[in-house]
Amino acid sequence: MLSSIFAKKFSICFAFLFTIIALTTIIFTDIRIFAQITVPKFTPDYVLGDDSFRSTRAFPNQDSVQNFLDRVNSPLKNFRQSNKLASQIIFEAARGVSSSQYGFTPQINPGVILAYLEKEMSLVSDTNYNTSTDPQGRIQKAMGYGCPDIGGCDLEYQGFTNQLNWGALQLEINFVTANPNSLKKIQPYVSGSKITTLDGYTFVISNQATAACYRYTPHVFYGCYNLWKIVTANGWGVSDQRYLYDDLDKANIGKTPTTAVSVENISEQEGQNLIFQSYGLGQNDVTIRNLQKYLKQNNYFNGQNISSIFDRSTGDSLRKFIMDKNLANPEFKIESNPTCKSLLLLDYSIGTENSNVKQMQMCLIEYRVFDTFNNTGYYGEITSKAHKYIQSLIQKTATNPNVNGQGNSPTPVPPVSVESTNNQPTQANCEVIGRNFVVGQMDDDVIKLQGCLKARGIFQWPAGVTGYYGEYTNGLYSKIVSQLECPTIKSQKWGFGERSVRVKRLQECLKAEGKFDYPSITGYLGPVTWRGLRS
């Protein structure tokens, strides 16, 4: 009898447990379906809430940062610099302990810094990366700070702690100066202002955190979208809700970034534009996709599929294409840089490792036959191949001055003209002279600038006024800016961190006044230029 009672109770308990398991399965299935339905949608005009930008909810102290790095097995979990763990460096930079300068004290969500470390160099997810040897220079350039799209990385800002302190400071400056009521606001990266990103999206910025992102990374896909995705997926904002990266990608771009894409061939005109752009290792966007397709069309792409990610294979394919087709950077003239010329004319033995080789590698980077993650100062086979190629161009230049170190390089072709016969540019458009322009910019200000240059008789592009600020327009604009009077250039609005042709002119003026003592004119508004401007 007793055993029968136990059997009945066991049967009832088992049935009850089975019911609970079944219900739990249904509930969690429903939750999963519900989560899929409610995956947040990304809009370019709102990347991150201001509260999320400032929040310490997810990371109130160093220990919380360390716990996260341990949990995800980040390569930074045991990394130290100057006897400080990465978690301490991250937290102190985010909260202004080590990064306060120029009247700005960062008060940033440490999760935003973590997101930038992942977005820029995959230093959260790449568990196998060796931070001790740093073979790809990711630790040295952890936040991508001082590494603009249009040039190599500035050596002044290299190093993990240095990168985080400067990166956090720049983000704080971006955030504060994006306030439309701020006396220090920097157009166009201001809440309520209209911008056009380098990948062609035009919209009105919704808030300061969004402005801060686009001023730091002026791309939507995959620039500020990736920041949004990383913060949103991990619940580092003001919400505890978490999502899978794949779900966010599928809901917002229709496919994961690594999915092979089958589209029509890239035109020769667009392909030549792509060849003459600068790229960073890990960059992931539609521009890279099109570059890979163009290289594949020409049988130069070594990758297995179109990934949209600029990796080693893509970089090697691009450099081989440039050298085989004799397409070295047409804007880099050897005669205009005596230091590069002397270094490039020297002969080096395989295995040589010194500062001269490192400087020479930077010159090769300017020619776009080398990349910034290999400028180790070691003269190996890759360096030798690029070096010998450039030496051959220098030799051609000596025998044929018309070559100008660029071989038979075609000129990049900008978009189709936006001119009409009834809309001739006038001198009134010259109000934009002195403003900051960046290569790749496309907006009404560029149309005005080109109209002004055409009215002066110096803009003679066959396609006419295009509204695209490419290398040709940049070259003409550089000459105009170089002729601006010093009082005019100094009186303009400036933003810390700007890199442009007008900063070069500013530095020349400050140097003439004895207020700029940096060894070279960099075109970057860093601390030395800032002090000279404010003195």
pLDDT digit string, tens, across residues 467-494: 777 767 877 888 888 888 898 888 888 8
How many Å apart are CA 321 and CA 295, to the nearest integer? 8
**Contacting residues for 124 by C-beta, under 8 A, at least 6 apart:** 69, 72, 74, 76, 114, 117, 118
How many Å apart are CA 326 and CA 410, to the nearest integer? 9
pLDDT at 231 over 70: yes
Q: What are phi and psi of 328, to 5 degrees?
A: -60, 155
**65, burial (CB in 10 Å: exposed 0-12, middle 13-18, buried 19+):** buried
Which two three-digit tokens encode residue 403?
Answer: 């070559």
CA atoms within 13 A on the CB side of 40: 21
How many Å apart are CA 220 and CA 263, to the nearest integer? 21
- The answer to whether the peptide bond before residue 222 is cis (omega within 30 degrees of 0) is yes
pLDDT at 497 over 50: yes
Report which of residues 424 and 57 the model is more confident about: 57
3-state class of 101 per DSSP? strand
Mean pLDDT of 183-189: 79
Which two three-digit tokens encode residue 338?
Answer: 């005596």
Contact predicate 94/110, CB 8 Å: yes
Rounded to the nearest integer, the mean pLDDT of the chain is 77
**Contacting residues for 346 by C-beta, under 8 A, at least 6 apart:** 356, 360
Q: Is 440 left (phi over 0), alpha (psi -120 to 50) or beta?
A: left
Which two three-digit tokens encode residue 531?
Answer: 């002090």
pLDDT at 255 over 50: no
Which two three-digit tokens encode residue 251?
Answer: 């809901």
Tens digits of residue pLDDT in 58-107: 999 999 999 999 999 999 999 999 999 999 999 999 999 999 988 899 99
Q: How far is CA 515 from CA 430, 492, 506, 534, in A?
A: 29, 17, 11, 10
